[in-house]
Amino acid sequence: MSLVNGNEIFAEARKGHYAVGAFNTNNLEWTRAILGAAQEKGTPVLIQTSMGAAKYMGGYELCLNLVQQTIKSMNITVPVIMHLDHGNYEAAKECIEVGYNSVMFDGHDLPFAENLEKTKEIVKLAHAKGMSVEAEVGSIGGEEDGIIGEGELADVEEAKQIAATGVDYLACGIGNIHGQYPENWKGLKFERLQELADIISTPLVLHGGSGIPKEQIQKAISMGVAKVNVNTECQMAFAAATRKYIEEGHDQNDIKGYDPRKLLAPGTKAIKDTVESRIEWFGTPAAK
């Protein structure tokens, strides 16, 4: 199977009360680890690039080609959705142009009327090419200028209006935050999730999936979350495994232990293990 859009996969996930994982890639190792884990599990997977990661790697077209060619060379047969994570208006338009399968237009920092207008426009452009769109209502907390904010709650009325634009999945703040969770974090706000799920049939997206306890993630999935974003957890697993390799002196004492193919291998394996474990948490069934 080649690249596919996300519409049916996520609509089925919401109906079936499971989620499909969305994992951020940063380079070749990340791409191989994410695709390899999905293939091992036999499940669909969403692989996404943030604007920053795409810039780091050399642009959206390069990212898309990297994923396409890796699918080919690894004989990946599960459905893969290539997605833009937290794109602004220009990035979303560029990814639609380049040929991603799915884009997130994140207009949460715009005045609501403008977020709504631009979301409509992106939906029209993307759907004309058979691509999926994710939008965001309210803000998802996280570290900004060193201050870790509480996760905000999406406004139900605004969420309803954004959902009505025809977006294929919707990210709503329910107390979740990006990056590492502070010790005094109060957990997901399930009352708000219930209010949103009651009036919106669009698959809901949980951002900041790294660090939320498994039980809370699974409860959110049972209530309507169909896409869970995981990024920080893979980064931390990669860093820990790489640190261990170096601290144990393998780069200096093993034969050619400094070779990047050896030095990056434990970290790559750690990403793959993390992705596989999250696929299990999310209850993603094998692709038909």
Least gap, CB of 161 to Zn ion (angstroms): 21
Rounded to the nearest whole angstrom, what is the least distance from the CB of residue 137 to Zn ion in the complex?
13
Taking CB atoms, the residue at the shortest distance from Zn ion is 207
> How far is Cα of residue 119 from the mean position of the Cα atoms in its chain?
19
Considering CB under 5 A, how many residues would be counted as binding Zn ion? 1
Least CB distance from residue 258 to Zn ion, whole Å? 35
Nearest residue (CB) to Zn ion, 79 versus 173: 173
Residue 83 touching Zn ion (CB under 5 A): no
From residue 258 to residue 277, the character string flagging contacts with Zn ion as x (rule: CB under 5 A) and all else as - is --------------------
Pick the closer one to Zn ion by CB: 29 or 106.
106
Interacting span for Zn ion (CB under 5 A) from 61-69, 186-194, 199-207, 234-242: 199-207
Nearer to Zn ion by Cβ, of 70 and 232: the residue is 232
CB closer to Zn ion, 106 vs 276: 106
- When the beta carbons of 27 and 139 are compared against Zn ion, the nearer one is 139
- Cβ contacts of residue 12 below 8 Å, gap of 6+? none
> Candidates 57-65, 182-190, 206-214, 265-273 — which segment interacts with Zn ion by CB under 5 A?
206-214
Q: How far is CA 206 from the centre of its chain?
A: 9
Q: Map residues 150-189 to x or -, x wherever contact with Zn ion holds by CB under 5 A.
A: ----------------------------------------
Among 118, 207, 227, 272, binds Zn ion (CB under 5 A): 207
**Interface with Zn ion (CB under 5 A):** 207
